[in-house]
């Protein structure tokens, strides 16, 4: 007897279905470990730290290239912190929205 091999679309649909089911089951679990919380804390921290460091590096380069009265390092430091906080807030808001469903 010849076994029916699923087509590419069927295989993809099955894989997506399995991943969606696992994700829903994980979200339904109310218990979250300490490691999960630390991981989230670290992710939010990196979301703020990376744009801040990029802003400082860009500002430092601009201060060395175009010296002048405005401190580009401080300007881009604050801009990097603001961008990082915005992205962290968006990410936390999106995750908390998913937790309700």
The domain tally of the chain equals 1
Q: Is residue 18 part of a domain?
A: no
The DSSP secondary-structure symbol of 77 reads H
The alpha-helical segments, DSSP class H, found in the chain are: 8-28, 34-65, 72-99
Q: Tell me the average pLDDT across 36-46.
A: 83
The pLDDT score that the predictor gives to residue 19 is 87
N residues, the chain: 101
CA distance 90 to 96: 10
The stretch 22-47 carries a mean pLDDT of 77
In a domain, 46, yes or no: yes
> Could you tell me the pLDDT band of residue 54, with boundaries at 50, 70 and 90?
very high
Domain that residue 89 falls in: 32-99
Amino acid 75: pLDDT? 95
pTM over 0.75: no
Q: For 55-82, how does the pLDDT look when each residue is reduced to its tens digit (9 = 90+)? A: 999 999 999 999 888 899 999 999 999 9
Would you say residue 71 lies in a domain? yes
Q: Are 72 and 59 in contact (CB under 8 A)?
A: yes
Question: What is d(CA 42, CA 88) in angstroms, rounded to the nearest whole number?
Answer: 11
Is residue 91 pLDDT above 90, yes or no?
no
């Amino acid at each position: 007897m010849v076994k029916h091999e699923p087509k590419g679309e069927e295989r993809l649909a099955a894989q997506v279905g399995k991943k969606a089911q696992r994700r829903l089951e994980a979200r339904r679990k109310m218990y979250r470990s300490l490691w999960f919380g630390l991981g989230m804390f670290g992710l939010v921290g990196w979301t703020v730290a990376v744009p801040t460091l990029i802003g400082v590096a860009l500002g430092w380069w601009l201060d060395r290239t175009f010296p002048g009265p405005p401190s580009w390092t401080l300007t881009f430091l604050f801009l990097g912190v603001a961008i990082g906080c915005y992205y962290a807030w968006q990410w936390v808001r999106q995750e908390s929205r998913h937790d309700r469903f």
